[in-house]
Structure 1
Amino acid sequence: MNRFQNKVAVITGGGSGIGLATARRLLDEGACVVISGRRKERLRKAAENMPADRLLVFPADVSVREDCDALIAAAIERFGRLDTLVNAAGMNLVGTLEDTTDEDWHKCLGADLSSVFYTTRAALPHLRAVKGSIVNIGSVSSLGGGWSHAGYNAVKAAVANLTRSIACDEGKNGVRANTVCPGLTVTEMVDAIMDDDALLEKAWERIPLRRAAQADEVASAVAYLASDEAAIVTGVTLPVDGGQTCTDGGPEWGK
C-alpha cells in the first residue's frame, strides 16, 4: 500500500518501540518521516536501514516547549509540509500515589502529556493547511484505573481527553485527532513484565487473546487512523489490547 505517498509525518519517540515501528510502517507506505527522541545514538541506529532521502532525524526532548517548536520547524524546512503527527514519546511510572515522588510525577507529566500539548500546538497551523491528522499513543490506562500506576494512569487518561478536545476544536479546520490505546506490548518499557512468569500469568487472565501485542501491530492501528481510510474518524480512543478492556476489570499486575 502507498497510503502515505507524498505525505510527511513527524513521530516523537521514533527511536524505539511503537514510535520506531510506526516510522517504519509509514516509510514503507511512501511517507517522508521525521523521527525524534532524546537519545541520539538510538536515533542514529534506528535510521541505519531507513531511506535517507525520505528521513530526517531530529534529537529533541519533547517535554521542553522550545524543542517541540524546533522539531516542527525542522520538519517544515526539510519537507515543506506536515500531514501527520504521531505523539509516541513517553515513559512508564510504577507506584501508588504515596510511592510517587514529585520529581517522578513531573517527569511523567512532561514526557507523556506536556510533550503532546507542546508538539501538537506547534504542528496545528501546518496540519490545518493540509487537513492533516494527529495520532496520540495513550494506553489501556487511558480508559480505566489500575494498580500501582497512579501517576501513569492519570497522565494517560489526560492524553485521551486532550485528544478529544483537539478533535472537537479542530474538526472545523479538517484536522482529525485520535488516540491509540495499547495494552501490554513487547517494548523495552515492559521488559520487566515480560521476564516475570508470575506477572505474565496474571496478565493473561485479563487478556482474552492471552498474548502481548507486537509494536508493529500497534503501528498498523496508528497507520489506519492517520490515513485517508479513516477520513471520518476523529476523537476516538481505540484499544489495541488483545481484548483486555472488554473484560470485567483492569490490569492487576501490580496488585
Structure 2
Amino acid sequence: MTTDPNRFDGRVALVTGAARGIGARIAATLAERGATVAQADVRDDWDAGLPGGGHTRHRVDVRSAGSCTGLVAEVLDRHGRLDLLVNNAGVVRRGPAATMSEDDFTAVVDVNLTGTFRMCQAAYPALRDTHGAVVNIGSTNGHIAVLNTLGYCVSKAGVMHMARVLALEWAPDLIRVNAVGPTIVPTDMTADLRGDPAYLADKMATIPLGRMAEPQDVANAVAYLLSDAAAMVTGQTIFVDGGVTIH
C-alpha cells in the first residue's frame, strides 16, 4: 500500500452508475489515483475507458438484491477483494406531488434509496474484511425543499441519513460511511432543467459561488472521503454546492 493518504494503490473500488456522468468521473478519478475500479451500471452506453489496466465493467440493476449480491461476487471473483464502494446509481422523476403517480414516486425511491441499501448490504461482508469505506451520492435536494421533485428529495435525504446510521453500526468493523451532496451538475439528468433559461437563472441565484458543480468537483470530494486522508471522518455529508446550503 502507498504511504500517500490520497492514493488508492492496491485497493479495489466499486462504483455504481459508472457508465456516464458523475459516476464515470468518479471511476476515472479513483483510477487516476491508483485504484483498480469495477464500474457497474444498468445501461450499455459507456463513456471512454479508464486510465491504467485491470479495471472491469459489470452490469447491475440496483432494484434487485440478487443483482447486487451477484455484482459483489463478480468483483470478488475478478479482483479478490473490495475496499471501496460508491453508491452513485440514481434516477429522477419530476412533477407536482399532488399529481405524481405512485409508480413515479416509488421508482425513484427504489433506485436511489433502496438500491443504495441493497448495495451496502451486499458489500458489507467484503468491506468488513478490508476495513473499507463507502460514499453515498446524495444531493442538496435532500437537505432543502425543491419544487416538483418529491421522490428525488426524499430519496436523497434518505441516502445521506443512511450514511450516518451505517457509520454508527459499522464503526466497530472499521468501515467508514459518508455522503456527498452536490448541487446541480451538468449531466444528462439535468439537461431538461439546464435547457430552461428561467429555471437556470433562478438556480444560479441560489449558488453563492455562481456556478454549477462539475463532475470533477464531486469526484474530488468522493475521493477524499474514501481516502486515508479522511481516516477519522465517518457519518458526514460534504455538500459540493458552492454555498447553497449555508443560507
User: How many Å separate the matches in 2 of 1:223 and 1:161?
Assistant: 20
Deviates more, 1:81-90 or 1:145-154: 145-154
Offset of residue 235 of structure 1:
0.4
Offset of residue 52 of structure 1:
7.1
| 2:31 partner letter | L
Gaps of 5+ in 2: none
User: How many Å separate the matches in 2 of 1:164 and 1:142?
Assistant: 14
Query: Is the contact made by 2:105 and 2:150 (CA closer than 8 Å) also made in structure 1?
Result: no
Q: 1:30 aligns with which of 28, 34, 37?
A: 34
Matched, 1:121 2:133: no
Gaps of 5+ in 1: 248-255
Offset of residue 228 of structure 1:
0.6
Matched, 1:231 2:209: no
User: Which residue number corresponds to residue 243 of structure 2?
Assistant: 243
User: Which residue number corresponds to residue 10 of structure 2?
Assistant: 6
User: How many Å separate the matches in 1 of 2:129 and 2:36?
Assistant: 17
CA RMSD of aligned residues (A): 1.3
| 1:89 partner letter | A
User: Which residue number corresponds to residue 105 of structure 1?
Assistant: 105
SS of 1:66's equivalent in the other structure is: helix
SS of 2:9's equivalent in the other structure is: coil
| 2:40 partner letter | S
Q: TM-score, normalised by structure 2?
A: 0.95
Deviations 1:227-255 (A, max 9, x none): 010000000011101111112xxxxxxxx
Deviations 1:183-225 (A, max 9, x none): 0111111111222221111012110011111101110000000
| 1:28 partner letter | E
Matched, 1:54 2:54: yes
Q: Pick closer, same or farther for the CA change 1:188–1:118 going to 2, 3 Å.
A: same
User: Which residue number corresponds to residue 22 of structure 2?
Assistant: 18
Deviations 1:80-125 (A, max 9, x none): 1111000000011212221221111121011101111111101011
User: How many Å separate the matches in 2 of 1:52 and 1:225?
Assistant: 22
How many pairs were matched up? 243
User: Which residue number corresponds to residue 208 of structure 2?
Assistant: 208
Residues 83-94 of structure 1 mapped to structure 2, 5 A cutoff: 83-94=83-94
SS of 1:181's equivalent in the other structure is: strand
User: How many Å separate the matches in 2 of 1:79 and 1:205?
Assistant: 46
Query: Is the contact made by 1:9 and 1:31 (CA closer than 8 Å) also made in structure 2?
Result: yes
SS of 1:53's equivalent in the other structure is: coil
Query: Is the contact made by 2:28 and 2:51 (CA closer than 8 Å) also made in structure 1?
Result: no
Matched, 1:170 2:170: yes
Amino-acid identity (%): 36
Offset of residue 62 of structure 1:
1.1
User: How many Å separate the matches in 1 of 2:125 and 2:231?
Assistant: 19
Deviates more, 1:99-108 or 1:160-169: 99-108
User: Which residue number corresponds to residue 250 of structure 1?
Assistant: none
Q: TM-score, normalised by structure 1?
A: 0.92
SS of 2:53's equivalent in the other structure is: helix
| 1:192 partner letter | D
